Amino acid sequence: MEQLDRLYHDIIMDHYKKPRGRGLREPFEAQVHHVNPTCGDEVDLRVHLLGGTVADVSYEGMGCSISQASASVLHEVLVGRTVTHALSTVEQFTSMVEDSRGETTPDEATLEDGIAFAGVAKYPNRVKCALLAWKAFKDATVKAVAQAEASND
Amino acid sequence: MELDVTKIREDFPILEREVNGKRLVYLDSGNTSQKPRQVIEAVREHFERHNANVARSVHTLGTEATAAYEGAREKVARFINAASPGEVVFVKNATEAINLVAYSMLGASIAKGDPRLSLGPGDEVVITEMEHHSNIVPWQLLCERTGATLRWLGITDEGRLDLSNLDELVNPRTKLVSMVLYSNILGTINDTTRIRVRTREVGALLMLDGSQAVPHRPVDVRALDADFLAFTGHKMLGPTGIGVLYGRSELLAAMPPFLGGGSMIETVTMERSTFAPPPARFEAGTPPIAEAVGLGAAVEYLTAVGMESVAAHETALTGYALDRLREVPELRIIGPSTTEGRGGTISIDFAGVHPHDVGQILDGEGVQVRVGHHCARPTCMRFGVPATTRVSLYLYNSTEEVDALVAALEKVRGVFG
């Protein structure tokens, strides 16, 4: 059970039971719908950017504790960061949960509560759950930035 | 004859292993079954002693391999009571078997061939809301490509087919009805009688998806009066990579080919080809030979145990499992609540905990179940759940394993309660 305790870390269970920032809100520049077709997990996610900063991330979804908690942590960690910092955080989070060999040392200062998902790397079939919202955020942010650039042209 | 589960288990080497430091409790046979020593040995012996390509060699090994491959076809034909071995087409899996029929019908539709097989605008195909994606998507594609209309029978709250509008859904415009015999998610075993009678009345073809039925129940294609039956080897103690399409010989003979290539031809010129009679017409390229031999051994094993005994064992075990699961608070069974017209595939919704999480914690206890939508997303939607936790029983499962499942579910409550 020891390894399972690492997967179901207290921080993850706390975010799962008390999700932060859940619900779809206005205003937003981009909205995406991502699914995990093998298990049916789904997330709808909106981003609101303001002057190069992530002003809000709002989301609705259904899925397992890992996928739902990871959306909540994403909201808490990324809102208020610059777009550049937010996207580099997504990269770090992705590397951490895909690192099944434990070769990288995740940076707690950057990932904050996201660090609790380090244990997911030992469960290859749960990596997609942990990344669902993060991939959706990246997709939505890229869309919102492209849209902003297009309207500036 | 009552099945001796202790003795059966000795034939399955994998059941001795441990998972996460616990005794393996394999409750995922609906996904794929475990293999008995007899099947593993048959495949090994084929590779060690008889390996060669089939149907094209004059040498001794080629003759032996061909005899083994065709011998497997005869065993499978007997197992489902086909009129002749020529009605058994070997394919990759049940998905390919269903696609074979759909693509052959597409070919007939384009060529304006046999009217029973040709579809166009105004024609209809009928399926059910209980189908695996493999018996939905090929018909969606066929209907899109021919302009025909796809229709389906619904499901009642108890997990049975809703036949209240059968006569309206299956009507003179219907060309084909394709339905599952045993639901891979609800465990429902469908009585096909009324549908069969109505299908015959309107002159449509009847295809049955036997992927879950053939491994677990006696299935007699002539008693079922089926035109087609699809099933797969790996769910019935055989290897992966081998499946079966049964087709009535007269129908197979009327069908245009699906895949083109070697072994399926009569004469080839640079301009055109003529095709071999069935089943060879539908077996292009080198087939899965060792896998067919393994399936033959699996069919022999099941025949020796007796399919009536397998079914009786599973019904008794299902009754025990349903009773034990009902004792678990906050657990809902999605599907029929009694053993009447149901098999040992039991989907549950537990205490609002997502099936992924349930499956993960059960795995920690050595209990292997499937979680997700089981390639039957429309059925999940019908019951308002994104996914379920599915327990599926087979001849080697015991009451002790059901007890282990119930104990492991208590651990789930410990983590998520």
Domain boundaries, chain B: 5-30+306-416, 41-303
Chain B residues with CB-CB distance to A13 below 8 A = 415
Give the gap in angstroms from C-alpha B390 to the nearest C-alpha of chain A.
13
Contacts of B292 (CB under 8 A, 6+ apart): B68, B69, B72, B73, B90, B242
Query: How many domains would you assign to chain A?
Result: 1
Give the gap in angstroms from C-alpha B141 to the nearest C-alpha of chain A.
19
- For chain B, the residues whose C-beta falls within 8 A of a C-beta of chain A are 353-357, 360-361, 364, 371-373, 377, 380, 386-387, 415-416
Catalytic residue, chosen from B312, B316, B351, B375, is: B375
Residue of B nearest to A124 (CA): B360
CB B72 within 8 A of CB B296: yes
Chain A residues with CB-CB distance to B388 below 8 A = none
Instruction: Evaluate if residue B221 carries a pLDDT over 60.
Output: yes
Chain B residues with CB-CB distance to A126 below 8 A = 356, 360
Contacts of A137 (CB under 8 A, 6+ apart): A45, A47, A57, A74, A78, A86, A90
What's the CA gap between B242 and B90, in Å, rounded? 7
Range of the domain at A90: 2-145
Q: What is the pLDDT of residue B356?
A: 92
Average of pLDDT values for A120-129? 90
Instruction: Evaluate if residue B165 carries a pLDDT over 90.
Output: yes
Is there a contact between B357 and A65 if contact means CB atoms under 8 Å apart?
yes
Is there a contact between B372 and A65 if contact means CB atoms under 8 Å apart?
no
> 10 Å Cβ neighbour count for B17?
10
**Which of B357, B386, B416 faces A62 most closely, judged by CB atoms?**
B386
Give Cα separations from B416 to A64, A70, A118, B371, B411 (angstroms): 11, 17, 20, 17, 9
Range in A24-38, A74-88, B232-246, B388-402 with the lowest mean pLDDT: A24-38
Taking the domain B5-30+306-416, which CATH number applies?
3.90.1150.10
Range in A99-103, A111-115, B227-231 with the lowest mean pLDDT: A99-103
**Which of B353, B360, B373 faces A40 most closely, judged by CB atoms?**
B373
What's the CA gap between B114 and A111, in Å, rounded? 65
Q: What is the pLDDT of residue B85?
A: 98
Which has the closest alpha carbon to A57: A29, A38, A36, A35?
Answer: A29
Phi and psi for A138 in degrees, rounded to 5?
Answer: -60, -45
**Which of B353, B364, B387 faces A39 most closely, judged by CB atoms?**
B387
Is there a contact between B357 and A129 if contact means CB atoms under 8 Å apart?
no
In a mutational test of the B interface, the residue from A65, A68, A128, A129 whose CB has the highest number of chain B CBs within 10 Å is A65
Residue of B nearest to A14 (CA): B416
CB A131 within 8 A of CB A91: no
Contacts of B211 (CB under 8 A, 6+ apart): B94, B132, B134, B180, B184, B230, B231, B232, B235
What's the CA gap between B281 and B227, in Å, rounded? 18
Instruction: Evaluate if residue A59 carries a pLDDT over 70.
Output: yes
Chain A residues with CB-CB distance to B353 below 8 A = 65
HEC-encoded secondary structure of chain B: CCCCHHHHHCCCHHHHCEECCEECEECECCCCCCCCHHHHHHHHHHHHHHCCCCCCCCCHHHHHHHHHHHHHHHHHHHHCCCCCHHHEEEECCHHHHHHHHHHHHHHHHHHCCCCCCCCCCCCEEEEECCCCHHHCHHHHHHHHHHCCEEEEEEECCCCCEECCCHHHHCCCCEEEEEEECECCCCCEECCCHHHHHHHHHCCCEEEEECCCHHHHCCCCHHHHCCCEEEEEHHHCCCCCCCEEEEECHHHHHHCCCCCCCCCCEEEECCCCEEECCCCHHHCCCCCCHHHHHHHHHHHHHHHHHCHHHHHHHHHHHHHHHHHHHHCCCCEEEECCCCCCCECCEEEEEECCECHHHHHHHHHHCCEECEEECCCCHHHHHHCCCCCEEEEECCCCCCHHHHHHHHHHHHHHHHHHC
pLDDT digits (tens, 9 = 90+) for B264-275: 999 999 999 999
Phi and psi for B348 in degrees, rounded to 5?
Answer: -130, 155
pLDDT digits (tens, 9 = 90+) for A125-144: 899 999 999 999 999 999 99
pLDDT digits (tens, 9 = 90+) for A97-110: 998 887 888 899 99
Fold of domain B41-303: Aspartate Aminotransferase; domain 2 (3.40.640)
Confidence band for A2, pLDDT divided at 50, 70 and 90: low
Average of pLDDT values for B372-388? 88
Is A152 part of any domain? no
- The residue among B1 and B141 whose pLDDT is bigger is B141
pLDDT digits (tens, 9 = 90+) for B76-86: 999 999 999 99
- The residue among A36 and A18 whose pLDDT is bigger is A18
Instruction: Evaluate if residue A3 carries a pLDDT over 90.
Output: no
Range in A120-134, B33-47, B99-113 with the lowest mean pLDDT: A120-134
Is A151 part of any domain? no
Instruction: Evaluate if residue A88 carries a pLDDT over 60.
Output: yes
Which has the closest alpha carbon to B227: B105, B70, B72, B79?
Answer: B105
CB B162 within 8 A of CB B189: no
> 10 Å Cβ neighbour count for B166?
18
Give the gap in angstroms from C-alpha A118 to the nearest C-alpha of chain B.
17
Instruction: Evaluate if residue B58 carries a pLDDT over 90.
Output: no
Q: What is the pLDDT of residue A90?
A: 97
Is there a contact between B356 and A7 if contact means CB atoms under 8 Å apart?
no
Instruction: Evaluate if residue A117 carries a pLDDT over 80.
Output: yes
pLDDT digits (tens, 9 = 90+) for B281-338: 999 999 999 999 999 999 999 999 999 999 999 999 999 999 999 999 999 999 999 9
Crossing angle of helices B289-305 and B37-45, in 10° steps, is 150
Average of pLDDT values for B176-191? 97
Is there a contact between B387 and A40 if contact means CB atoms under 8 Å apart?
yes
**Which of A7, A38, A68 faces B360 most closely, judged by CB atoms?**
A7
What's the CA gap between A85 and A64, in Å, rounded? 28
Q: What CATH number did the domain enclosing A13 receive?
A: 3.90.1010.10
Q: What is the pLDDT of residue B291?
A: 98
**Which of A8, A40, A42 faces B372 most closely, judged by CB atoms?**
A40
Chain A residues with CB-CB distance to B416 below 8 A = 65
Instruction: Evaluate if residue A1 carries a pLDDT over 60.
Output: no
Scan for tokens 């104990």, then name that residue: B407
Half-sphere exposure of B116 (CA within 13 A, CB side): 17
What's the CA gap between B70 and B192, in Å, rounded? 31
Chain B residues with CB-CB distance to A64 below 8 A = 354-357
Instruction: Evaluate if residue B227 carries a pLDDT over 70.
Output: yes
Is there a contact between A63 and B371 if contact means CB atoms under 8 Å apart?
no
The tokens of B95 are what? 């998905």
Confidence band for B219, pLDDT divided at 50, 70 and 90: very high
Based on the residue annotation, tell me whether B375 is a catalytic residue of this protein: yes
